Amino acid sequence: MVQLRDIAHSRTGDKGNISNVSVIAYRAEDWPILVRQVTAERVRDHFGTMVRGEVLRYELPQIGALNFVMHDALGGGVTRSLALDPHGKCLSSLLLTLTIEPIHT
Amino acid sequence: MKTIRIGTGAGFSGDRIEPAVELAKHGEIDYLIFECLAERTIALAQQAKMRDPQAGFDPLLERRMRAVLSVCRDKGIRIISNMGAANPVGAAKRTVEIARELGLTGLRVAAVQGDDVLDILSPDTFHIDEENCALRDFNKQVVSANAYLGAGGIVDALVAGADVILTGRAADPSMFLAPQIFEFGWEMDDWTRLGRGTLVGHLLECGGQITGGYFADPGIKDVPDLARLGFPIAEITENGNAVITKLGGTGGCVTAATCKEQLLYEVHDPKRYIQPDVIADFSGVEITEIGPDRVAIAGGNGFQKTGSLKVSVGYVDSCVGEGQISYAGPGAVARGRLALDILHQRMELAGICCQEIRGELIGVNSVFPQAEPADDAPGEVRLRFVVRTDDLATAARIGEEVESLYLNGPAGGGGVTKSTREIVAIVSGLLPEGHLKTHFEMMEA
């Protein structure tokens, strides 16, 4: 098992109370691993109570990237959240702790 | 084929100033664009303007203009910025004064207006998305309403010969799209090119975030010389494709990876990046490294615009009180948890009316609430207790309760800080673009 951090990089963005987290493969050959193992359900489970709404996943195969859009995820959004990180900027680093089976099938 | 070069002078209101000066002096750019307006900034700026009608534009406008105006005039670089915030006319007047002080006679400065829609929103038909109600039924004190304008007003000011263009709330990519429309003569219904121009704008709008800023992760993603990070330049051709690069000798890096991270930054459905001018489609974008710090961007697309503009409505939401205290050494986490437990009890015992409570230990679970400390628990933690209240007087009691932990709480608490603040928050809705009129006012130094 490896961490997602070993095969992909990530950045978080915010719009209102919605957070988006990209997951981008360093190497094109790892893209199928991302598609198969980094599902919207796993991302939702990973963040647990932080994300209250639905999680949608978009695929960008030509750049080897997934984009997760997480609704009701920022405690009301940057303008009113009580969180120390109201933008949710740190979420990308947290997502990279996801465990991955480094197997190409 | 005609090519233009656009540089980013700032990616947010507090951004560094020297990289913009370097770009103006050595970047051989045609346009320098400063993006300085966040979601809530304009609501706070509207409040500043209510207190002082001359205020309400970006507090760093003066320093930025003094730093770049002369060199931009020398080299024929035109400046576009949303530093006008709640008062583009005030910002333009101040810029003209600065230009005169610098001896830049004849410099033409335009203020683009029309984004302030507070007086034209219909209480019955304007719908607030987050609350799913009409404006009339939104039971809060509204302080501002600003529509995200498209490129049109900026293009008009460029046609009229403006050297500097100051806007209020304009969509960030539209500030970068406008000079492309103007230079290449794109039609306002050429959705493919508008989509590509929006893509370039989106990549540039956060400045250093595409040149290696916000990217470094030592040992995995190393970036050279972040203290002297260079801001991006886009070399754009008539067909809307572009190369992203930066000035030689500056810090940072432009790679496929930095461009990919920025491509998806603050994007939801990549097929539908909804902007005032176009629905941009990033789903087929191709990103190719073609040289050191040179990345080619192609494959952007676009579809017909929605015809509606997003409006951000600022309102007085609530007050917040906060207190912090540190614990260190063996048992720090346990003492921090005990202190949190005491504070939760105190809210009830002291009869403090709380809308929302958040208590956490920085170093353990302040970012990730369900995190558990590892066996090698941190040797120090900082307790943070923050409460949403109806008024500032109640908010002040939160810090007082944290401070009282000195004599009444667990052993060894130190370094209390306390604060209160009033929260101006943002909700949003859509306005048919025909309901407002964009225009500009030209001034000359």
Convert the pLDDT of each residue in B131-172 to its tens digit.
Answer: 999 999 999 999 999 999 999 999 999 999 999 999 999 999
Which residues in B349-376 are b (16+ Cβ under 10 Å) and which e? eeebebeeebbbbbbbbbbbeeeebeee
pLDDT tens track for B218-244: 999 999 999 999 999 999 999 999 999
CA nearest to B262 within chain A:
A11
Q: Are residues B300 and B324 in the same domain?
A: no
Who among A58, A79, A84 is closest to B384 (CB)? Answer: A84
Mean pLDDT to the nearest integer, A95-105: 88
The residue with greater pLDDT, B47 or B54, is B54
Domains of chain A: 2-100 (3.30.70)
Q: What distance in Å separates residue A88's CA from the closest CA in chain B?
A: 8
What confidence tier does B43 reach under pLDDT thresholds 50, 70, 90? confident
Span between the terminal Cα atoms of chain A, in Å: 15
Q: Are residues B260 and B383 in the same domain?
A: no
pLDDT tens track for B396-434: 999 999 999 999 999 999 999 999 999 999 999 999 999
Q: What distance in Å separates residue B50's CA from the closest CA in chain A?
A: 20
**Contact assignment for A11 to B267 by CB distance below 8 Å:** no
Residues of A in contact with B424 (CB under 8 A): 79
**Contact assignment for B424 to A5 by CB distance below 8 Å:** no
Q: Is B77 exposed, middle or buried (0-12, 13-18, 19+ CB in 10 A)?
A: buried
Centroid of chain to Cα A60? 14
Q: Are residues B243 and B359 in the same domain?
A: no
Who among A11, A18, A48 is closest to B261 (CB)? Answer: A11
**Contact assignment for B267 to A13 by CB distance below 8 Å:** yes
CA nearest to A7 within chain B:
B220
**Contact assignment for B268 to A24 by CB distance below 8 Å:** no
Q: Which of B367, B388, B422 to mutate to test the interface with A (most CBs of A within 10 A)?
A: B367
Question: Which residues, at least 6 apart from B139, have a Cβ–Cβ distance to it below 8 Å?
Answer: none
Domain count, chain B: 2
Is the alpha carbon torsion for B278, B281, B286, B292 positive or negative?
positive
Is the per-residue pLDDT at B47 higher than 90? Answer: no
Interface contacts A/B by beta carbons within 8 Å? 112
Residues of B in contact with A14 (CB under 8 A): 266
Q: In whole angstroms, what is the distance from residue B128 CA to residue B123 CA?
A: 10
Who among A62, A78, A83 is closest to B284 (CB)? Answer: A62
Last residue of a domain, one of B254, B283, B306: B306
pLDDT tens track for B375-404: 667 889 999 999 999 999 999 999 999 999
pLDDT averaged over chain A? 95
Contact present, A63 and A24 (Cβ < 8 Å): yes
Q: Which of A2, A26, A46, A60 to mutate to test the interface with B (most CBs of B within 10 A)?
A: A60
Residue in the block written with tokens 């490129």 = B151
Assess if residue B396 is contained within a domain: yes
Question: What length does chain B have?
Answer: 445
Q: Are residues B274 and B202 in the same domain?
A: yes
Q: Are residues B332 and B289 in the same domain?
A: no
Who among A49, A50, A62 is closest to B286 (CB)? Answer: A62
The pair of structure tokens assigned to B312 is 């951000």
pLDDT tens track for B320-330: 999 999 999 99
Q: Are residues B206 and B72 in the same domain?
A: yes
**Contact assignment for A80 to B360 by CB distance below 8 Å:** no
Mean pLDDT to the nearest integer, A23-32: 96
Q: Are residues B161 and B21 in the same domain?
A: yes
Mean pLDDT to the nearest integer, B52-68: 96
pLDDT tens track for A83-99: 999 999 999 999 999 99
Assess if residue B262 is contained within a domain: yes
What confidence tier does A105 reach under pLDDT thresholds 50, 70, 90? low
**Contact assignment for A79 to B426 by CB distance below 8 Å:** yes
CATH of the domain at B345: 3.30.70.100
Q: In whole angstroms, what is the distance from residue B25 CA to residue A7 CA?
A: 40
Who among B214, B264, B284 is closest to A67 (CB)? Answer: B264
Residue in the block written with tokens 């009339």 = B136
Which residues constitute the domain of residue B207? 3-114+149-306
Mean pLDDT to the nearest integer, B75-96: 98
Assess if residue B439 is contained within a domain: no
**Contact assignment for B267 to A76 by CB distance below 8 Å:** no
Q: Are residues B409 and B286 in the same domain?
A: no
Q: What distance in Å separates residue A44's CA from the closest CA in chain B?
A: 13
Mean pLDDT to the nearest integer, B212-219: 97
Assess if residue B210 is contained within a domain: yes
Q: Are residues B361 and B254 in the same domain?
A: no
Contact present, B183 and B4 (Cβ < 8 Å): yes
Mean pLDDT to the nearest integer, B363-373: 88
CA nearest to B385 within chain A:
A82
Is the per-residue pLDDT at B280 higher than 90? Answer: yes
CA nearest to B424 within chain A:
A79
ipTM: 0.97
Q: In whole angstroms, what is the distance from residue B321 CA to residue B436 CA?
A: 39
